[in-house]
């Protein structure tokens, strides 16, 4: 498919486009985004396109998942570029609602996920995952996808949404696509656009530190405390960061491990100037 | 249709029965209940049957909507009688899951509705409406009904679920059926079974009091305080009750009115011995 994707602004339009596709026997595939699309999103879209059917990309900078003082206002927005990005990848349908379409006057409902949503970014961004779970529950009901695509970079978001989808019996599958990285290892993120050239040059230290932690586990280390310390020291050595957390957790529950067994996730968040970055590696992992 | 309805215990069975009906072009109609079925439920079922399609009655005493010290353990349960009740009304399918089917190990998600869920019963039963909203969100996703049927007696529940369904974009309609009353005016409720003969004889005072309040509004009274006082005094005069609340609220928002305009809801809750009863009248209303 070439040409621009169909750009829809209302829930009603999406429902009718999706219903028509479903009537035609197509599977429905959802890629929820906040726009400012990069090759990480590209990997999600390409996977969805490969899987076939109607691919719906949503672009919505969701105010409910930003806290006071966070970067909602300056979050990058460029619809024209995003549409071209989607067009180049054969996306059928882009849903980019206004805030009032998603949160009309009187809106009062919140989906909260305890446990997996509480530590890590949940601790430093109170309300963030409730905002994510609520908007994604809405998108699941609006688009009614067979499969929804998310990136491994947002690993705790994935854990929260898996829990939410299972707990609320959403009849769909979540498909997780590996993190896409710049050649120097920095995880792709819309927020990388905030970085000054000096910060951008320092940023790959995060992934380097995570690799160092995974290397310790490869070498037989089983004490999460030592892994955390090694990762934190690597980041400290890079100079530019304020570390928010580094944790070695169970990849399913997101709970800190007392001791590393068969699997672990090393996850971190750090501020680099005014930019908050996150990254993680699964161990043992697909090259990371 | 005669004979017993199909009794299903698992989500997977319900999904496949519903999918088959939908494939056959049938509309799907959901009547969620906690069992101990009475003519109030009967009115919901009969309305759903009249509307046509596949009628799914769910029977599940939902632990999440009972607080500590409430009547979860003694809540009446009689599956055999309930199945016969459904059979007599032509119900196609009864879904009566075990608690573990609805809340498997690790369950962690809660749907919260602010505003409409906060006053009235929400104030005296903390967590109740989150429990209701969460289980109903699950049932909506499991059964995927075109229409779900609820009773006006549970008016605040209806307001919470309307808000939840709209806010989370559930693609369905809520249909509200008027309260069914005993000949002496007592609103039908599974909890009426708890009442001793003396309590049962006293119980109609609640509806009498509500009618008195509505009568004041009919007569031109517009001060909610005076209406509340008159209702409360009528209940006090009956002797047997401990009033939890009586409020004159906006029927949509459930917020107490400063002054009565075109429409009002008079709602109350009271303990009669060990039994908590609720009732309400809309004003101006269909006979109450």
pLDDT tens figures, B87-96: 999 999 999 9
Contact A112 B110 (CB under 8 A): yes
**ipTM of the complex, rounded to two decimals:** 0.96
Q: Which residues of A touch B117 (CB under 8 A)?
A: 108
Indicate if B41 belongs to the active site: yes
Contact A167 B107 (CB under 8 A): yes
pLDDT band of A1, cuts 50, 70, 90: very low
Q: What do you get for the CA distance between the two ends of chain A, in Å?
A: 34
B108:A113 CB<8 A: yes
Of A260, A261, A189, A271, the residue nearest A238 (C-alpha): A271
Residues from chain A that touch B11, judged by Cβ atoms under 8 A, are 169
Render chain A in DSSP notation, one character per residue. --SPPEEE-SHHHHHHHHHHHHHTT--EEEEEE-S---HHHHHHHHHHHHH-SEEEEEE---GGG--TTSSTTTS---HHHHHHHHHHTT--EEE---HHHHS-TT--EEEEE-GGGTSHHHHHSTTHHHHHHHHHHHHHHHH--SEEEEEGGGHHHHHHHHHHHHHTT-SSEEEEEPPPB-TTSPBP-GGGGG--HHHHHHTTHHHHHHHHHHHHHHTT---HHHHHHHHHHHHHHH-SEEEEEEEEE-TTT-PBPSS--S-EEEEEEEEETTEEEEEEEEES-S--
Average pLDDT score over residue span B263-271: 98
Which band of pLDDT confidence, cut at 50, 70 and 90, is reported for residue B3? confident
Contact (CB<8Å) A168/B141:
yes
Residue B22 to chain A, least CA–CA distance (Å): 12
**Mean model confidence pLDDT for chain B:** 96
Burial annotation B89-100 (CB, 10 A radius, 16+ → b, else e):
bebbbbbbbeee
The pLDDT of residue A4 is 86
Angle in degrees, CA A28, A34, A37, rounded to 5: 85
Query: Quick check: A163 contacting B, CB < 8 Å?
Result: yes
Region B181-209: what's the mean pLDDT?
Answer: 98
Q: DSSP letters along A179-218, please?
A: PPB-TTSPBP-GGGGG--HHHHHHTTHHHHHHHHHHHHHH
Q: How far is A186 from chain B (nearest CA, A)?
A: 33
State pLDDT tens for residues A156-211.
999 999 999 999 999 999 999 999 999 999 999 999 999 999 999 999 999 999 99
Give the mean model confidence (pLDDT) for residues A50-74: 97
Residue B2: pLDDT band with limits 50, 70, 90: low
Of B108, B113, B171, Cβ closest to residue A109: B113
Q: Which domains does chain A have, with CATH numbers?
A: 6-177 (3.40.50.620), 190-281 (3.30.1300.10)
pLDDT at A271 over 90: yes
Confidence of residue B4 (pLDDT cuts 50, 70, 90): confident
Contact A111 B110 (CB under 8 A): yes
* CA closest to B252 among chain A residues: A106
Q: How far apart are CA A27 and CA A48, in angstroms?
A: 10
Average pLDDT over residues B108-134: 97
Percentage of chain A modeled with pLDDT above 90: 97
Residue B287 scores a pLDDT above 60: no
Residues of A in contact with B133 (CB under 8 A): 109
- Cβ contacts of A70 within 8 Å, gap of 6 or more: A125, A276
Does A133 contact chain B (CB < 8 Å)?
A: yes
* Beta-carbon separation of A141 and B168 below 8 A: yes
Pick B15's closest partner by Cβ from A107, A164, A171: A171
Q: Which of A14, A168, A171 to mutate to test the interface with B (most CBs of B within 10 A)?
A: A168
A169 touching chain B per CB within 8 A: yes
C-alpha–C-alpha distance, residues A2 and A21, integer Å: 18
Nearest CA in chain A to B114: A108
**Residue A268, strand partner residues:** A246, A279
Q: Say yes or no for a CB contact (<8 Å) between A142 and B169.
A: yes
Give the span between the Cα atoms of B86 and B27, in whole angstroms: 19
Q: Is the pLDDT score of A288 beyond 60?
A: no
Task: Give residue for tokens 């829809």.
Answer: A8
Whether the predicted pLDDT of B269 surpasses 50: yes
pLDDT confidence bin for A285, thresholds 50/70/90: confident
CA distances from B223 to B217, B243, B247 (A): 9, 20, 12
Chain A CB within 8 Å of residue B116 CB: yes
**pLDDT at residue number A2:** 59
Say which residues have a Cβ less than 8 Å from residue B17's Cβ, sequence separation at least 6.
Answer: B6, B8, B54, B93
In terms of residues, how long is chain B?
288
Beta strand B93-95 with B6-8 is parallel
Residues B167-186: tens digit of each pLDDT: 999 999 999 999 999 999 99
List pLDDT tens digits, range B9-53.
999 999 999 999 999 999 999 999 999 999 999 999 999 999 999
Write down the mean pLDDT value for chain A: 96
State residue A52 phi and psi, 5-degree precision. 85, 160
CA distance A70 to chain B (A): 24
B111 touches chain A (CB under 8 A): yes
- How large is the average pLDDT for residues A101-117? 97
Phi-psi sector, A273: left (phi>0), alpha (psi -120 to 50), beta = left
Q: What was the pLDDT predicted at B1?
A: 46
Are B111 and A116 an interchain contact pair (Cβ–Cβ within 8 Å)? no
Nearest-CA residue of chain A relative to B110? A112
Size of interface A-B (CB pairs under 8 A): 80
pLDDT at A75: 97
Looking at chain A, which residue has its C-alpha nearest residue B113? A109
Q: Is B113 on the interface with A (CB under 8 A)?
A: yes
pLDDT band at B286 (very low <50, low <70, confident <90, very high): low
Cβ of A113 within 8 Å of Cβ of B112? The answer is no
Q: Is the dihedral of CA B70, B161, A174, A99 positive or negative?
A: negative
């Amino acid at each position: 498919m070439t040409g621009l994707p169909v750009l829809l602004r209302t829930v009603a339009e999406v429902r009718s486009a999706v219903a028509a596709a479903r009537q035609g026997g197509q599977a429905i595939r959802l890629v929820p985004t906040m726009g400012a699309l990069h090759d990480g999103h590209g990997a999600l879209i390409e996977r969805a396109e490969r899987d076939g059917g109607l691919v719906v990309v949503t672009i919505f900078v969701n105010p409910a998942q930003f806290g006071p003082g966070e970067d909602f206002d300056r979050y990058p927005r460029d619809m024209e570029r995003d549409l071209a990005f989607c067009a180049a990848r054969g996306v059928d349908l882009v849903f980019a609602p206004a805030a009032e379409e998603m949160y009309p006057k009187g809106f009062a409902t919140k989906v909260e996920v305890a446990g997996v949503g509480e530590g890590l970014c949940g601790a430093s961004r109170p309300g963030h995952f409730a905002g994510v779970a609520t908007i994604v529950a809405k998108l699941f009901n609006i688009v009614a996808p067979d499969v929804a695509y998310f990136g491994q970079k947002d690993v705790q978001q994935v854990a929260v949404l898996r829990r939410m989808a299972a707990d609320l019996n959403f009849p769909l599958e979540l498909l997780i696509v590996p993190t896409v990285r710049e050649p120097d290892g920095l995880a792709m993120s819309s927020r990388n656009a905030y970085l000054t050239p000096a910060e951008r040059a320092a940023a790959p230290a995060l992934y380097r530190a995570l690799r160092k932690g995974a290397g310790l586990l490869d070498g037989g280390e089983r004490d999460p405390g030592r892994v955390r310390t090694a990762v934190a020291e690597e980041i400290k050595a890079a100079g530019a960061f304020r570390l928010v957390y580094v944790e070695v957790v169970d990849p399913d529950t997101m709970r800190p491990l007392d001791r590393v067994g068969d699997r672990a996730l090393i996850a971190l968040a750090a501020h680099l100037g005014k930019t908050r970055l996150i990254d993680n590696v699964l161990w043992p992992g697909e090259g990371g």
